[in-house]
Structure 1
Amino acid sequence: MPDLYSSYTDLAAHEVEGVSYERRSVPVASATWCSIAIHGGGIEAGSGEMARYVAAGKMAHYEFAGIKATGNFDLHVTSTNFDEPICQGIVFNARRCLSFHGYTGAAGVPETSLGGLDTDTAARIGDALTRAGFRVVTAAQEINGNDLDNIANKTLLGAGVQLEMSNALRASFFPGGDLSRTMRDSGQRTPTFYAYANAVLSAYNNQGMVSQGSINVSRWTTIPWASPDLDIVAAMGTDKLAVGGPHFLHLAGRVQDTNNCYLARIACNTDQTLTLTLRKRVSGTESLLATASNTVGLVHAAGRMFWVRFQITGSTLRARIWQDGTAEPPDWAVTTTDTSLTAAGAIGTRSILSSANTNTLPVVASYDGFQQLTPQRMTVTRSVNGIVKTHGPGAPVQLAQPAIVAL
């Protein structure tokens, strides 16, 4: 069925705000993610409630909610034509967007059709939902969210995630399957609602930011890892261009302590180039093992993120790098061998500013999507507040609170 209105602008010229619809938004200082529902209220019932709960002080939130007694679907404006300015302002300034929707789906089948151009985040969410027992399918073309004009893809990365939740799934979020406004406004939710939201949030909770208020001081975030072999990946970047001297961002493995470990390091240089190296620290002395021969085309910019994958197997160390929003390259950028450190140890990150750096401080280092790819059961102790959480094979690993922290 075609939309009654061609855009929000068209809708606003014919409908009365506060009578037919409401616009709800909650900005969150320093948030880099947003959670939106442009078909909330009675349009696609349950989508707004899920988007609101997932945001909950962690992400910027927006909802366009139909509040008519009947006929709310008349307020549906397709994602590629949604030009409401508050929503645009929120999404345009976010790195990642979760856009919650509803669709009919097969009768009685609770499922999520995942789409959007942010395929890395969509894959993490899909894995988390599947592990939590939810059915996830690849979205059909008409609801796959892959159009560049889709509001979810208007982020700083030019990509977002679209979660299309079937009618049966959304009904399972409320007691008795009741999607009425009275039930939704009552605040009552089923355990299924919270299980779904928490699974989605697990893709968000493995990010962190480190505020660096001084030069030449290392900030570490580490967790135990029971095997000497490891395969870790994370996106990383800084909020400023490097001035005077580089910003150094690392993945760390076989960490016995901060003086004994292996490192895959990005140097964000003052000419905006990037240098990827493999390094070791032994008895507090750091030395270079190998340098990637080709990082041409990778340009550092404030807020731009780059993925690094770091693998150690036996005596072989290797790493690769690629820009967030692009495909992981098939080949390793740098490989070497070393036998200085052979025992299992922690995994994690290290952030440090060059002693020559003259940036106005602090410089904030961001890490996103930290994950240990090797299948293994593990217990993770978060160094921030001491909570112990157990992650299954391939699960994202939370290293830091999703907020600015000085470690």
Structure 2
Amino acid sequence: MDKYANYDDLKQHEKEGEDYVILSREGYSGIAVIAPHGGGIEPGTVDIADGIAGGRHSFYAFKGIKKKKNGVLHITSNKFDEPEGIRIAENADIVLSIHGYHGKGDEIFIGGRNQTLMEKIRQTLKKEGFNAEICTKAGLRARHPENICNRCRTGEGVQLEISRGLREKMFDNLVRRSWRKRSHLFFKFISTLRRAFR
């Protein structure tokens, strides 16, 4: 259960620049890649979203920077309403939302409402040896229209839930810090996802 019901609730108790930061930049592709639970909330997701976005796609991240207990900054995706994040999502034709879950394996669960793109991403990842499946788990399917990934112009985005086990293989150390060394697997994952959007 989240501590805060929405962003207005969160910002009354947490301080921007001290407890969290908001990152964004505009792209030109019509696609936005976002990490609404970045930093210490779901480690590694900002690096992954930023890498996929590059200079082509729009990028957004809500990044927890508390010394500890960043989990309190988690706002569930169906209620995530930080204004800059909503602006980036609503100005995009498609949103790809990057998340992390606690699994120890190397799974990637694909959710959202854009069935065609979900399947294309699944096939592209599988071809490169990643363990990617369309999500059937309640709470991770990202089917709700208010989910941040579906707040795009088409109303049909994609959400990736990347296991902690896989994220740990992408970096030398997943513990939050200013910069992590990225592994070969990180760059393989980024290039594979970029191909799925061509």
**TM norm structure 1:** 0.48
| Structure 2 residue corresponding to 1:168, chosen from 162, 165, 168 | 165
CA distance in 1, matches of 2:11, 2:29: 29
CA distance in 1, matches of 2:21, 2:128: 33
CA distance in 2, matches of 1:37, 1:147: 18
| Structure 1 residue corresponding to 2:181, chosen from 173, 183, 188 | 188
Q: Tell me the alpha carbon deviations over residues 328-374 of structure 1, each in whole angstroms, 9 at most, x when there is no partner.
A: xxxxxxxxxxxxxxxxxxxxxxxxxxxxxxxxxxxxxxxxxxxxxxx
Q: Secondary structure at the match of 1:126?
A: helix
Give 1 or 2 for the bigger CA radius of gyration. 1
Correspondence for 2:153: 156
Task: Report which of the two has the higher share of strand.
Answer: 1
- Pairing 1:121–2:120 present: no
Correspondence for 1:198: 191
Provide the identity percentage.
36
CA distance in 2, matches of 1:128, 1:138: 13
CA distance in 2, matches of 1:199, 1:13: 40
Q: Secondary structure at the match of 1:181?
A: coil
User: Following TM superposition, by how much is the alpha carbon of 1:203 offset from its aligned partner in structure 2, in angstroms?
Assistant: 1.2
CA distance in 1, matches of 2:171, 2:180: 9
User: Following TM superposition, by how much is the alpha carbon of 1:138 offset from its aligned partner in structure 2, in angstroms?
Assistant: 2.5
User: Following TM superposition, by how much is the alpha carbon of 1:187 offset from its aligned partner in structure 2, in angstroms?
Assistant: 4.3
- Pairing 1:132–2:131 present: no
Correspondence for 1:27: 26
Correspondence for 1:42: 40
CA distance in 2, matches of 1:21, 1:64: 7
Where does the alignment leave 5 or more consecutive residues of structure 1 unmatched?
207-407
CA distance in 1, matches of 2:68, 2:179: 19
Query: Which protein, 1 or 2, shows the higher relative CO under an 8 Å CA cutoff with sep ≥ 6?
Result: 2
**Following TM superposition, where does structure 1 have runs of at least 4 consecutive aligned residues deviating by more than 2 angstroms?**
none
Task: Report which of the two has the higher share of helix.
Answer: 2
User: Following TM superposition, by how much is the alpha carbon of 1:14 offset from its aligned partner in structure 2, in angstroms?
Assistant: 0.9
CA distance in 2, matches of 1:193, 1:180: 16
User: Following TM superposition, by how much is the alpha carbon of 1:13 offset from its aligned partner in structure 2, in angstroms?
Assistant: 1.1
What amino acid is the match of 1:23? Answer: I
What amino acid is the match of 1:104? Answer: H
**TM norm structure 2:** 0.97
Q: Secondary structure at the match of 2:139?
A: helix
> What RMSD in Å do the two structures reach over aligned CA positions?
0.9
What amino acid is the match of 1:166? Answer: S
Correspondence for 1:8: 7
Where does the alignment leave 5 or more consecutive residues of structure 2 unmatched?
none
